[in-house]
Structure 1
Amino acid sequence: MNAQTVTSSVTPSVTPSVTPARKTAFVKTSLFKAEWLQFRRNRTLMFMATVFPVGIPLLIFAVGAGGAVETANAFDYFVMYTLLFVQFYTVLSMATTRRDERVLKRLRTGEARDLDILGAICFPGALLTLIFTIVIIPLLLALGAPMPVNLIPMVLAVLLGLVLCSALALLTSGFTRNAEAAQLTSGPVFILAMGGLGSVRIAFGESIVADILAYTPFAAISDLAQIGWAGATFYDNVTGATPVDFAGAFQEMLVPLGILAVWTIVALWAASRYMRWDSHR
């Protein structure tokens, strides 16, 4: 056996290497699938994520007159309940649980990026929210609701609302010691959201309380939902204001859209600053 034969016999075979892009995509996909499976196995979260957001708005629509104002109010409640129960509370519960089990800390030591880890936690609720939104609009139309004036403000309310509620959930998890405590720490966000509903704010009339609530993020979401379906906010519709048309909705949505955008940016910054990756223990 000559030297060339020996050299060739011990030379290892070359296998194609996995590119960093493919490895990152594989890690991200695995995280998203794992969080989705965990979400589906949690019966409490699944119950809260389906019954409340869909059932309550349909009930509100059924007991109403079925006009544009009543339909916009039903869709307003749908958006609010979906963002709260499907996205905010589930992300808060999952982030707190994963942190206390030290799953988040272990994931950060691997190849997963922080954004991928957090995105996977936010994915199940966001997916259900988008599915429910696609379903609820034709369902209301099939039940006799009038056509929306402009879908764009409604879509923006849902999409920006998802980002806002995800950030608020991650921020709140930083002050939540365990999953059980989430029922208490989520209270301020739920109260703020309920106060932002158009049908609730009108009870305060033109008082300073109503003015303050109008600049909260959930009030902006409510106004966008109402403008999109009925062409005016709930207060304007009830007080007899003339609804705008498709083109007019773009101008009407500028103020609530700006308010929501500012709050979303602030919430994202606060979540990145105050979220905890390790347990309180």
Structure 2
Amino acid sequence: MTTSHTARGLQHATPERRKTSFFKTSLFKAEWLQFRRNKTLLFMATVFPVGIPLLLFLIGNGGAAESANSFDYFVMYTLLFVQFYTVLSMATTRRDERVLKRLRTGEARDIDIIGAICFPGALLTLIFTVVIIPLLMVLGAPAPINLVPIVFAVLIGLLLCSALALMTSGFTRNAEAAQMTSMPVFMLAMGGLGSIRFVFGDSIVADILAYTPFAAISDLVQIGWAGATFADSVGGVEAANFAGIFQDMLIPLGILAAWTAAAVWAANRYMRWDSYR
């Protein structure tokens, strides 16, 4: 069936489109309710991402570099615990319960099924981000110099972590095994933090870590808040102004985009829709 058009454009949605919209809304609501009922996921998605960065900020001196570092930890913990681990856990559980297989035989499209799984963590991540920035400022942090790289870091980071979670679920036999299969991503993410890379100095390890996706996220966050990466801030490099940040963000943004494209391909290639059993 096709839709009718006039000179003013599309007039009425087709029954198929209305049905797709209904199933998409129902799936998103169902996944959100399931997420809320999982107390373990809720605990991991709130206490670690919000509590640890706030604690780091409160024990520091509240300068631009310290504020950017605290927010860097917030973004990393949020992407890992709120998005990556919850999507991995939910995708693996739904697969083992053969929910994904049943949904694929119905009216829902693959993109709707995956989107519903990714929705709860993404929503919480965006809410936390909107709340934590003014909260840090109320506590004494200087305002971010430019929010654009921060927005890119969070939004592309959500897509990256969702794709990594779906890919990892293909190698995860059950929900319990997710604690082990998630470790490589957690280690890669922690190694990408600006304050961790700084420990390695000018070594080849630091150079390798600088080209990982989570290092790119960290650099975008640090540049957006403090006008310089963590290493540059510690080294006394002058912070970029609002306009200068757009140039400084190009390299980490390109690295992040390339890794995200590769992760999306890998998720499409390795994600399993049926149980191992």
Normalised by the shorter chain, which TM-score bucket?
over 0.9
C-alpha distance in structure 2 between counterparts of 1:130 and 1:232, whole Å: 24
Q: Take 2:50 and 2:151, find their aligned partners in 1: how far apart are those partners?
A: 17
Cα distance per residue 1:24-45 (max 9 Å; x no partner):
1000000000000000000000
Instruction: Find the partner of 2:99 among 73, 98, 103.
Output: 103
The 1-side partners of 2:21 and 2:276 are apart by: 32
Match of 1:7 in 2: none
**In structure 1, C-alpha distance between the alignment counterparts of 2:194 and 2:60, rounded to whole Å:** 16
Report the Cα distance in structure 2 between the residues aligned to 1:196 and 1:258, rounded to whole angstroms: 16
Residue 7 of structure 2 is matched in structure 1 by none
Aligned match of 2:237: 241
Give how far 1:19 is off: 1.1
Task: Provide the rounded CA distance (Å) in 2 between the counterparts of 1:21 and 1:102.
Answer: 26
* 2:100 corresponds to 1:91: no
Pick from 31, 34, 37 the counterpart of residue 41 of structure 1: 37
- C-alpha distance in structure 2 between counterparts of 1:271 and 1:59, whole Å: 35
Deviations along 1:149-194, whole A, 9 cap, x unmatched? 1000001000000000000000000000000000000000000000
Per the normalisation by structure 2, the TM-score is: 0.95
1:205 and 2:198 correspond: no
Aligned mates of 2:131, 2:194 — CA distance in 1: 23
Match for residue 219 of structure 2 among 200, 218, 223: 223
TM-score when normalising by structure 1? 0.94
Find the residue that maps to 1:134 and give its secondary structure.
helix
Residue 159 (str. 1) matches residue 145 (str. 2): no
Secondary structure of 2:144 counterpart: coil
1:146 Cα offset (Å): 0.4
Question: Matches of residues 21-60 of structure 1 in structure 2 within 5 Å?
Answer: 21-60=17-56
Structure 2: distance between partners of 1:32 and 1:249: 37
Give the whole-Å Cα distance in 2 for the aligned partners of 1:156 and 1:58.
Answer: 22
Paired position in structure 2 for 1:252: 248
The equivalences for 1:52-131 within 5 A come to 52-131=48-127
CA offset digits 1:183-210 (Å, max 9, x no partner):
0000000000000000000000000000
State yes or no: 1:183 paired with 2:179: yes
> Partner letter of residue 205 of structure 1?
G
Give how far 1:20 is off.
Answer: 1.0
The equivalent position to 2:259 in structure 1, one of 257, 263, 268, is: 263
CA distance in 2, matches of 1:213, 1:236: 16
| Length, aligned pairs only | 265
Equivalent residue letter for 1:202? F
Displacement, 1:70?
A: 0.2
Partner of 1:134: 130
- Structure 1 unmatched runs, 5+: 1-16
Larger of the two Rg values belongs to structure = 1
Q: Distance in 1 between matches of 2:15 and 2:106?
A: 17
Question: How far apart, in 1, do the equivalents of 2:143 and 2:176 lie?
Answer: 42
Alignment partners' CA distance in 2, 1:254 and 1:273: 29
CA offset at residue 18 of structure 1? 6.8
4+ residue runs over 4 A deviation = none
Aligned to 2:3: none
1:173 and 1:241 map into 2 onto residues whose CA distance is: 42
Gaps of 5+ in 2: 1-12
Question: In the aligned structure 2, how far is the partner of 1:84 from the partner of 1:29?
Answer: 26
Q: Identity across aligned pairs (percent)?
A: 80
Q: CA RMSD in A?
A: 0.8
**1:21: how far off?**
1.1
2:151 and 2:46 map into 1 onto residues whose CA distance is 20
Partner of 2:192: 196
- One-letter amino acid of the counterpart of residue 222, structure 1: S
Shift of 1:216: 0.1
